[in-house]
Each structure stands twice: as structure tokens, then as C-alpha cells.
Chain A
Amino acid sequence: MNIKIRNTLGEITGASIAMIWMYSNLTNVVNMTIESISKVLAQGIGISIILIIALHIILNILSSIITGQYEKDIDDERDKIFELYALQVSSAIFGISIVATLVLLGWFNLTISAGLIAITFSGFIASIVSLLLKIYLYR
């Protein structure tokens, strides 16, 4: 497994764990205030960032111990093209989900809290899908 796939897997794992953590803290969403929901979502985003950084470090240390050599993570033109593909996919998913959420808020009586959760989760899902695309391209 090369360093690109390893780092991408770390990012998927970090985002997934943060999503699960947020989901587990939003089970009683009907009785929660918008402030408490916002706190959970903000903490979830923070957790995902910290987890992604920590997983990058841990996975690279483990890889260096197992293989006995340090692998540099060089970003070249091919990586930039893949980043662009991933960005296009994540923007499309996030854009569609924002429009869908606004439609639900405007015409189908979706609550503001549910809309906030839907937008945050769609951001995470868009990120995970784009990372999966990167793994497919790097395979």
C-alpha cells in the first residue's frame, strides 16, 4: 500500500469516526436546542481534523517501523489532477445536498436543526466519497 492510499484511508477513517461520534450524540435531537446541536457539530468537525492529523502520524510511523524506511509524501502534477477530480465530485455532492436541504426547509417543513445536521453530514459524506474516488484513482 503506497503512502497516498494510506493517508487517504486515514482521512476516511477520521471523518467516519467523527460522523459516528456526532450521530451518537444527536440521537435525542428532538429535545435538543439549536445551540447544543451546533456545539456537537462543531466538536465533530474538530474531532475529525484532530483524528485525521493523528492517523496520518500514526500510520506513517507504523509504516516506517514495518518497512524500515521513510517514505516521502511528494505532491506532483498527477496528485493535483486527482485532487481536482475529487474536488469536483465533493462540490457536486455538497451542492446538490445544500439545494435539497433548502428545498426541504422551504417547502416540506424541515426544522432548522435537522437542516443544520443535514448540511454538516452532507459535507462529511461528500468528503468521504471524494476520498474514495482518490483511492480508486491511486489504486
Chain B
Amino acid sequence: MIKKKIHIENAVRKLRFNNNEMTQQELAELVGVSRQTVVAIEKYKYTPSLDLAFKIALAFDMEIQEVFFIKQ
């Protein structure tokens, strides 16, 4: 059993800039959440559900593991 707490990080901020400098509001509208939630995800203050993580990955047309990953 894995008891160690894992820290999930993401590349959302970087990916937004690589996607024609997409704004947080634009990403929030694409995936159906509030801008505050996107801000919290980018600051690693909130880890999204699997459903939302997939939606974000799809918004960038990428695989989920390319957007969300465990900090080594």
C-alpha cells in the first residue's frame, strides 16, 4: 500500500501560454469551471477530479499524464 502523500503538479500555465496565450477565463469556460478554480489548479492549491483533469487535457489536445504528473 502506498502511504506516502503524493504531490500532483501540472503544466496548465505553460500549456495555456503555448496555446495562443489562452486566458484563464477562456480555459475555465472550455472546461466548465470558474476562473478561480483554474487559478487554484495552476498554483497547485487544488487537485482537480479525474473528470476535470481529463477535460483540461482534452482542451489542450494532450494526454492526461502530459498535463498532470507526480512531483519526483
User: Does chain B have a CB within 8 A of A76?
Assistant: yes
Q: Number of contacting residues on B, CB 8 A? A: 13
Query: B24-64: contact bitstring with A at CB < 8 Å (1 yes, 0 no)?
Result: 00001000111111001000001011011000000000000
Q: Number of contacting residues on A, CB 8 A? A: 11
Question: A17: shortest Cβ distance to chain B, in Å?
Answer: 27
Question: A69: shortest Cβ distance to chain B, in Å?
Answer: 10
- Inter-chain CA distance A138–B52, complex, in Å, is 19
- Inter-chain CA distance A46–B48, complex, in Å, is 37
Tell me if B48 and A77 are in contact (CB < 8 A).
yes
Point out the residues of chain A lying under 8 angstroms from B48, CB to CB: 77
Tell me if A76 and B46 are in contact (CB < 8 A).
no
| Chain A residues at the B interface, C-beta cutoff of 8 Å | 2, 4, 72-79, 138
| Chain B residues at the A interface, C-beta cutoff of 8 Å | 28, 32-37, 40, 46, 48-49, 51-52
In the A-B complex, list the 10 residue pairs whose CB atoms are closest, starting with the nearest. Answer: A76-B33, A74-B34, A78-B37, A76-B37, A2-B36, A77-B49, A76-B34, A78-B46, A77-B52, A4-B36
